[in-house]
Amino acid sequence: MRKSVLTITLNPSVDKSSSVKNIIPEKKLRCHSPKYEAGGGGINVSRALKRLGIVSDAFFTSGGRTGRLLEDLLTQEELNILPLYVTGETRENFVVLDTSDNKQYRFGFPGEKLTTEEQVSVLNSINTMTFSPDFVVISGSLPPDTDRDFMKKLVRMFKKKGSKIIIDTSGEALKTAVEEGVFLVKPNLGELASLIGKERLEDEDIDQAAGLIISQGNAEIVVVSMGEKGAVLFSATEKYQMNAPVVTIKSTVGAGDSMVAGMLSVLVKGGGYKEVLSMGVACGSATTMTEGTGLFTKENVEILFNGMVNNSDPLS
């Protein structure tokens, strides 16, 4: 029986992308027609899982005109959506490509605050769900000024339900979640350093840092994302490293979320950690091959995955 998946996005967005030739200050720039896509960490994970043939439920907050557009976009992609209505307007992000040099400019907005009552409503809505998901992905930023204990309560709630929690966020929210203990965490080098109380880490310090998090019971799996260098996966008994395949990078938007989806698509089928990492890197890399805010194509994922899976051996 296939495992059930729930994604949580508390600061979702509608991502608008366009392109223009020569970005020059003070000049009126006549951009191409914009493209609108649903965005936000957990939402992107659900969108990517759909492309990999994995069904998930997407829980997210939705407010105002942009929230309605977000729901419409997700409905068009035939996702199972669980919107919770809030008073604040759902945010927009903007990405523009300068076609003269193929440089991408990304403009992200913070989103509006959730009131104390709305934060309680989120927790109550999740707590009263009629199903207990096998895997829960909590991904993306939190709205500004979210209560510090909110993430702690959210993680505890799912642990009581017996769910395996995957965390992909940053800052205080990441620290708090890991303190409570999760199944899988996907930090970059800077975030990994922060999790063990250091300002920075060198490559040779990664093993010790990931091992510390696992030995303290803060995570069962640590996947350290290193951008173009690929990623390293650690468990208590295994370590795998996978270099990123060489591709033409058009946009990095959604690459991290796609990596999470790729790893999860293997985990729900009971696959091994080597395959988990390979599929994660393949999906993340395939997304960078897509312009604007688009995610990967399944065809590109399969090409990259097949080229990688036989070229990684356990390092310990």
Residues identified as active-site: 257
Residue 160 and residue 146: Cα distance in Å, rounded? Answer: 22
Single-letter amino acid, residue 188: N
What helix, strand, coil percent values describe the chain, rounded to 5? 40, 25, 40
Neighbours of 107 (CB within 10 A): 10
Q: Where do the H-state alpha helices sit in 102-165?
A: 116-127, 148-160
Strands 35-39 and 80-85: unpaired
Which residue in 72, 49, 71, 54 sits closest to 62, CA to CA? 71
Residues facing 37 on adjacent strands: 15
Instruction: Return the SS3 of 188.
Output: strand
